[in-house]
Amino acid sequence: MARILLSVAMHRPWSPGHSLAPALASTGHAVEVFDYRGADNPHRELLAAVDAFRPQLHVVYGGEIYTPDLIRTVAAKNVFNVLWYPEVIPQPPPELIELGKAHDLFL
């Protein structure tokens, strides 16, 4: 099975990571959660989590604080990146489009 790093909010009891992480783990994958909203330095701490866990798949749920360059840095470590953006935006802002393009898959 795959090693999945899930970048998701966990800072509140109703945050989506509390349901997404167990759902992914229930399929037999090894899942590590990175709470980017709870991090002091999310960019540095994400790269440290990638180095420590060595995921094959990085699923970003939301990820509004990430930059395309950060995602490309993660990709350079042989990690497949998925951006799961949870809101429907008829005309997404240019920065969201650029962030989506930096990922291997944008949902």
**Residue-level pLDDT at 10:** 86
DSSP state of 25: H
Q: 32 near 49, Cβ under 8 Å?
A: yes
pTM confidence score? 0.93
More confidently predicted of 93 and 3: 3
Dihedral sign (CA 80, 84, 85, 90): positive
Q: 5 near 29, Cβ under 8 Å?
A: no
Q: Which are the contacts of 3, defined by CB distance < 8 A and separation ≥ 6?
A: 29, 30, 32, 53, 54, 55, 56, 57
Alpha helices in 1-93 (DSSP H): 17-25, 42-53, 68-75
**Residue-level pLDDT at 105:** 96
CB count within 10 Å of CB 101 equals 11
pLDDT in tens, 46-103: 999 999 999 999 999 998 899 999 999 999 999 999 999 988 888 888 999 999 999 9
pLDDT at 12 over 90: no
**Residue-level pLDDT at 92:** 86
pLDDT in tens, 19-42: 999 999 999 999 999 999 999 999
